[in-house]
Amino acid sequence: MTAPTSLSTALAVALAWPALVTADPLPSWNDGDSKARIIEFVERVTDPDTQDYVPPADRIAVFDNDGTLWSEQPLYFQFYFALDQLAARAEADPALLDDPLLKSAVEGDMAAIAEAGTEGLLKIVMASYADQSVEDFIADARAWLATARHPETGLAYTDMVYQPMLELLRYLRDEDFETFIVSGGGIHFVRAFSESAYNIPPQNVVGTTGETSYSLADGVPTVTKDPGILFIDDKAGKPVGIDMHIGRRPIFAAGNSDGDFEMLEWSTAGEGPRLGLIVHHTDAEREWAYDRDSHVGQLVRGLDEGPDRGWVLVDMAADWAKIWPKEPQ
Amino acid sequence: MTAPTSLSTALAVALAWPALVTADPLPSWNDGDSKARIIEFVERVTDPDTQDYVPPADRIAVFDNDGTLWSEQPLYFQFYFALDQLAARAEADPALLDDPLLKSAVEGDMAAIAEAGTEGLLKIVMASYADQSVEDFIADARAWLATARHPETGLAYTDMVYQPMLELLRYLRDEDFETFIVSGGGIHFVRAFSESAYNIPPQNVVGTTGETSYSLADGVPTVTKDPGILFIDDKAGKPVGIDMHIGRRPIFAAGNSDGDFEMLEWSTAGEGPRLGLIVHHTDAEREWAYDRDSHVGQLVRGLDEGPDRGWVLVDMAADWAKIWPKEPQ
Ligand SMILES: [Ca+2]
Ligand SMILES: [Ca+2]
């Protein structure tokens, strides 16, 4: 007599199951400490019955871009764009090649570029867009992103965004966080794809900002990218950029290099519950493995001090079931 | 036979009336051209059946603050705050008074201050907050706004916001516009009250921005206001500030002085439907009347060119049924 009842109960439970359990918000994260701590944090700050409850307006989450939301090896993707733009410009205006550094850049002489250091890199980037309107720059960046392919994977650059981080961004937004990008990359370059790639609108992108000016260009009101840098959004510049653009201290901050150290330090030092997260590139097979000695995305202090500060150190190889939305062919 | 039917029809219509008509979104605006053009614009860009439909993500509306959202006479309210802060500082550190300009400021010698011009004004403002943390500055501004009273009206400054503009902000947000402040005033000062006064969160405030820096102050991660100006958000600086902070060209822009000219010019020059609006201070009885010759909020080009450019020129005396939420005692 009991068997049929149990059976029907079991059946009823089985049928109701999909409605009873919450779907996994982070399906591309393997079960483990990183995933558990993220979910525990989000559940805690969104539960009005806990002391740690944070009202939605204060649920500010900031993300570095290069190496945190998409890949950054062997060189920042924006730099490939700058090289291609510079080459196109030099075709129209060969006088640009009178400059030995720009000539090296157009010829793809990476050794010469590396030797020129940060200053040289900035010079190349600025020469690639100087005197262009912001609207034209963004249109060019979108056209480039639509066709350019990564030299090693053959993927479109926007297909090298991290699937687990897309899920994290969406999870946070579903829980009434407002998500921002705080990038050392150029603010206009990141805005060219932030909305389509991450569902982050331009007003939620903070980045390194070149000088711009407003004028009537042949009578048309135009904002133009000028040479010169107004603001570098890196290291101690990240809290400054967040204060300038957002005006609230984040309660969640994610990065991957020591360029993010101050952002995580400041974000996690405020009162109440806070979480810092570092993406540690440990997966030489599916992506790249690098940290202390890398020329791109160098990570030293974050490794040494992060765990003691309570920051989640994401081990890409162990924590991520998937890297990019599509695998390379 | 027809009479009773007519009567019952009339009764039915009368009873259904409140449900059939939309409540007036701008009750403090008198009926007239200004109100009609605002509503016509909003209805047009939000109607998916018109060619002029604008998707919500592009419904960016920007507002100047001083003279557009709250009063600005006889002096920008932020300047009264700076004078009070400077006086408090001088009490703790009398050496500040060795500087003749700062001494004049603390003594309230307005003639000497006026003589010092814009440069002197900036010097006074910067001396009033130098080396203070952003958080302390905002806390001080809030404490001051809670107790300070306007020298002529006796009102709290935040009670001198314009009721018709509060309704306009709310109407636009109800219609899925995102509202931003783009002020020549200091970004941190405006953020101290933007959320409580206008329901505009700090990340939606663009303003003149002083230099800041991040450091560990006695071990505490802190963003500090330094001397020096990074960016002046006025005149041609307004389109630049909008590009930097918002990254989209607004489709609606409101201002009150020639400091807003370029913002309106740029916003209304884009493709598709756009609206510029100028608050013209014409009401010497209820507020102040000033334009071409005013030392604060000077308006010349907007008056001369605004109408031909299709901008709505709001006549405060005629168009506004109410100025501030509460009338002065
Ligand atoms: Ca990075
Ligand atoms: Ca104004």
Can you tell me the mean pLDDT for A33-49?
A: 98
pLDDT at A114: 85
pLDDT at A117: 84
Q: How would residue A2 be classed by pLDDT, with cut points 50, 70 and 90?
A: very low
- Rounded to a whole number of angstroms, the distance from the CA of A115 to the nearest CA of chain B is 30
- Average pLDDT over all residues of chain A: 93
Q: How many helices (H) and strands (E) does chain B have?
A: 12, 8
Chain B hits for A266, Cβ within 8 Å = 214, 221, 223
Q: Name the residue among A184, A204, A158, A207 with its Cα closest to residue A325.
A: A158
C-alpha of A307 from chain center: 21
Query: Helix (H, G, I), strand (E, B), or coil: what is residue B321?
Result: coil
Q: Compute the distance between CA of residue A46 and CA of residue A17 in angstroms, rounded to an integer.
A: 24
Given a cut of 80, whether residue A101 has pLDDT beyond it is yes
pLDDT at A10: 57
Nearest to A214 among B178, B231, B266 (CB): B266
What is Dmax (Cα atoms) for chain A? 94
Nearest to B265 among A221, A237, A243 (CB): A221
The two tokens of residue A236 are 């101690």
How far is the centre of ligand 1, averaged over its atoms, from the C-alpha of B15 (Å)?
A: 63
How far is the centre of ligand 1, averaged over its atoms, from the C-alpha of A66 (Å)?
A: 4
How far is the centre of ligand 2, averaged over its atoms, from the C-alpha of A241 (Å)?
A: 26
Q: Which amino acid is at B300?
A: V
Given a cut of 90, whether residue A24 has pLDDT beyond it is yes
Adjacent-strand bridge partners of B276: B253
pLDDT at A129: 95
- Rounded to a whole number of angstroms, the distance from the CA of B16 to the nearest CA of chain A is 38
Burial of A241 (0-12, 13-18, 19+ CB in 10 A): buried
- With tokens 């509060």, the residue in question is B166
pLDDT at B267: 98
pLDDT at B270: 83
Give which of B245, B262, B263, B301 to mutate to test A binding, by max A Cβ within 10 Å.
B245
- Residues lower than pLDDT 50 in chain B: 1-4
CB contact under 8 A, A57 and B203: no
Q: Where are the domains of chain A?
A: 24-74+154-319, 77-147
pLDDT one-digit tens code per residue, A155-189? 999 999 999 999 999 999 999 999 999 999 999 99
Nearest to A248 among B202, B230, B238 (CB): B202
Chain A hits for B266, Cβ within 8 Å = 214, 221, 223
pLDDT one-digit tens code per residue, B216-274? 999 999 999 999 999 999 999 999 999 999 999 999 999 999 999 999 999 999 889 99
CB contact under 8 A, A212 and B247: no
How far is the centre of ligand 2, averaged over its atoms, from the C-alpha of B236 (Å)?
A: 14
Q: Which residues of B touch A (CB under 8 A)?
A: 57, 134, 178, 187-188, 191, 201-205, 209, 212-215, 220-221, 223, 230-231, 236-240, 243-248, 262, 265-266, 269
- CATH 3.30.450.20 for domain B15-74+149-319, yes or no, is no
Chain B hits for A214, Cβ within 8 Å = 236-240, 262, 266
Query: Helix (H, G, I), strand (E, B), or coil: what is residue B235?
Result: coil
* CATH superfamily, with its number, for domain A24-74+154-319: HAD superfamily/HAD-like (3.40.50.1000)
pLDDT one-digit tens code per residue, A209-256? 999 999 999 999 999 999 999 999 999 999 999 999 999 999 999 999
Kind and range of the H or E run holding B124: helix B110-129
3-state SS of chain A? CHHHHHHHHHHHHHHHHHHHCCCCCCCCECCCHHHHHHHHHHHHHCCCCCCCCCCHHHCEEEECCECCCECCCCCCHHHHHHHHHHHHHHHHCHHHHHCHHHHHHHCCCHHHHHHHHHHHHHHHHHHHHCCCEHHHHHHHHHHHHHHCCCCCCCCCHHHCECHHHHHHHHHHHHCCCEEEEEEEEEHHHHHHHHHHHHCCCHHHEEEEEEEEEEEEECCEEEEEEEEEEEECCCCCHHHHHHHHHCCCCCCEEEECCHHHHHHHHHHHHCCCCCEEEEEEEECCCCCCEECCCCCCCCCCHHHHHCHHHCCEEEEHHHHECCCCCCCCC
C-alpha of B316 from chain center: 15
pLDDT at B119: 86
pLDDT at A186: 96
Chain A hits for B201, Cβ within 8 Å = 57, 247-248
Given a cut of 60, whether residue A21 has pLDDT beyond it is no
Give which of A223, A242, A261 to mutate to test B binding, by max B Cβ within 10 Å.
A223
Whose atoms come closest to the Cα of B165: which ligand? 2
CA-based end-to-end distance of chain A: 58
Given a cut of 60, whether residue A196 has pLDDT beyond it is yes
How far is the centre of ligand 2, averaged over its atoms, from the C-alpha of B243 (Å)?
A: 19
